[in-house]
Amino acid sequence: MAFGFWLGVFVLLSVWPCVRCSDLPSGAVETACRDRYLLVTTQLSFAGNEPRFEAVDADGVHPITKQYGSECGYMFSILPLPGHAELRASYFSCHTDNQDDEVFTFSFNLITIDANGMETTYHVNATCSLSLPWSPREVSCEENYMEVSMRSDVSCLSGTTTDAWTAALATAHSAATSTWQVMFQQEGQQLTPMSFSEARELGYVFHLTQGRLVFRSPYTPRSVMGSVSMVNGSLVEVVHPILFSRQRWVVMMVDWIVACSTNEGMYDGAGLVWQTPTRLSPLVSELSGLESSKISIGVAGQLLDEPITAERGYSLDISDTTVQISIPFNADGGYRKSFVMDNMYHEFYVVRLYYEQIFLDDCGVETRLRLHRPMNTPLLIQHLSIINQTVLEARVFTVYLGNLSYDVDLVAVKLNGHNFTILEANKSGLVMVPQPNSTLHAYILRVPFEDAVVHKLVKGTIYIYSF
């Protein structure tokens, strides 16, 4: 189908100069073009604990706040555990120069803050070329927004029921003007036409690229026109806008829909588990045919080949109703954090799941859905492994202390009431022992029987050594 309306095209005519910009040190910021977004990463050791980004275009500088990011296709996060901050910018983000949906040019300011509170601004530019052709419909379930784009000539996509479509058609016929409007379909709610500017005030963004229609929505509770329902045991958030306009004697309508699984995942005692419906209704109607489906998983925004996921112990179980992904505790691809609380050793484990599902419905239209979902275990009490490996004939106490994460260092030991720093303990033979094929490490403490710290007790001809 053809469209004769203008939803807004963002074109960069020039680069807005950065006031008081500093030269960016080599390696301080890394950019990577992913299939559907640009990734910008900076180390906190360079940027400070509270860096921030601004998008730059011909109209000026636009601070990427939490709300603005969800409206305009930016996901910014500070990740203390790996020690970096990152920005993911959708190829359809508001201030990106889009050339024919094939080449995307980005311009940002990075503002860093040093230990004295002094701010420094650095300019970051990047250009990405599309490496993977667009599917007719693509859904991105980011951490802070949902985005759907579809080719402008695609039809037969919606899961709208006949009754709902009849009601929408009646509303459109009575309210349509030559200016494009939108109404949001919600179960049990009256359809209320509104302008695009009114929708934008609610956090919803529509625009038209060279060949695709794009819609972006925040999650609830900010998504006042969205709804959350339970589908096969999983929470699914849905926003269903319908665009309409009167062109001469014809009322044109565009039926859009975006749906994302919002399950946070759980810890089952062995690892992290995340579940989503196999058929993400209403992207795929429960009554329609699902001709094919390909599911891939990965971490940190990158899909992984099956041999790699198998080697790491990831599992993918697909049934007629649900898809379940399990990632073992401490598997490669995640990271763990250790700390002491109430004199007890605790840990938690974090994985940033990346999920892709490609399906072809009974209309023959391919939809590619991608989802980012951070997951973490609760605080877990960890008990040290203490193994007595002493061989009496060697006349040396040998004790194994493990298994510890690599963010834990042994700084002192207490032997028979005497405190020793790690340097002092090293003189007694304290050594670190790496564990093969593991992210853990351990220590071995060796103390000769004759060391002054060892208690000695003589009972006749029997010598007793202890510590």
Which residue, of 363, 381, 399, is where some domain finishes?
381
Three-state SS at 72: helix
Same domain, 186 and 300: yes
- Exposed e or buried b for every residue in 429-456, given b needs 16+ CB within 10 A? ebeeeeeeeeebbbbbbbbebebeeeee
Strand partners, 446: 398
Q: What is the pLDDT of residue 158?
A: 55
* pLDDT, tens only, 91-147: 999 999 999 999 999 999 999 998 888 999 999 999 999 999 999 999 999 999 999
Same domain, 264 and 396: no
- Residue position matching structure tokens 């096969």: 232
Strand partners, 251: 246
- What is the span of the domain harbouring residue 449? 385-466
CA–CA dist 152, 461 (Å, integer): 95
Q: What is the pLDDT of residue 54?
A: 98
Same domain, 181 and 236: yes
CA–CA dist 374, 318 (Å, integer): 21
Three-state SS at 16: coil
Cut 0.95: pTM above it:
no
Please report, as a single letter, which amino acid is at residue 386: I
CATH number for the domain including 78? 2.60.40
Same domain, 209 and 287: yes
pLDDT band at 17 (very low <50, low <70, confident <90, very high): very low
Same domain, 207 and 96: no
CA–CA dist 75, 69 (Å, integer): 6
Given strand 258-261, what is the order of strands in its sheet?
Answer: 227-231, 234-239, 258-261
What is the mean predicted confidence (pLDDT) over 264-272?
Answer: 96
Query: Is 179 domain-assigned?
Result: yes
Query: Is 2 domain-assigned?
Result: no
Query: Is 14 domain-assigned?
Result: no
Number of domains in the chain: 3
Q: What is the pLDDT of residue 165?
A: 66
CA–CA dist 255, 215 (Å, integer): 11
Same domain, 113 and 244: no
Query: Is 44 domain-assigned?
Result: yes
Question: What's the mean per-residue pLDDT of the chain?
Answer: 87
Same domain, 338 and 286: yes
What is the mean predicted confidence (pLDDT) over 345-358?
Answer: 94
Same domain, 213 and 338: yes
pLDDT higher than threshold 60 for residue 13: no
Three-state SS at 203: coil
Please report, as a single letter, which amino acid is at residue 89: A
Same domain, 107 and 154: no
CB-CB contact of 75 with 142 (8 Å): yes
CA–CA dist 333, 404 (Å, integer): 18
Q: What is the pLDDT of residue 290?
A: 60
Same domain, 460 and 391: yes
Query: Is 88 domain-assigned?
Result: yes
DSSP 332: B
* pLDDT, tens only, 410-449: 788 888 888 888 777 777 666 666 666 667 788 888 888 8
Q: What is the pLDDT of residue 6?
A: 33
Which residue, of 80, 95, 129, is where some domain finishes?
129
Half-sphere exposure of 135 (CA within 13 A, CB side): 21
- Residue position matching structure tokens 């938690």: 348
* pLDDT, tens only, 243-264: 888 888 888 888 888 999 999 9
Q: Which helix (H) or strand (E) segment is 175 a member of?
A: helix 162-175
Which residue, of 325, 351, 381, is where some domain finishes?
381
| E strand map for 50-204 | 52-57, 60-63, 74-79, 84-90, 97-99, 103-113, 119-129, 137-141, 146-151, 181-184, 194-195
pLDDT higher than threshold 50 for residue 231: yes
Q: Give the CA dihedral 166, 169, 170, 172, nearest 10 degrees.
A: 160
* pLDDT, tens only, 76-88: 999 988 899 999 9
**CA neighbor of 384 nearest in space, from 455, 312, 445:** 445
How many other C-beta atoms can be found within 10 angstroms of the C-beta atom of residue 15? 14
Same domain, 375 and 391: no
Three-state SS at 68: helix
pLDDT band at 353 (very low <50, low <70, confident <90, very high): very high
CB-CB contact of 168 with 191 (8 Å): yes
Same domain, 375 and 228: yes
Query: Is 173 domain-assigned?
Result: yes
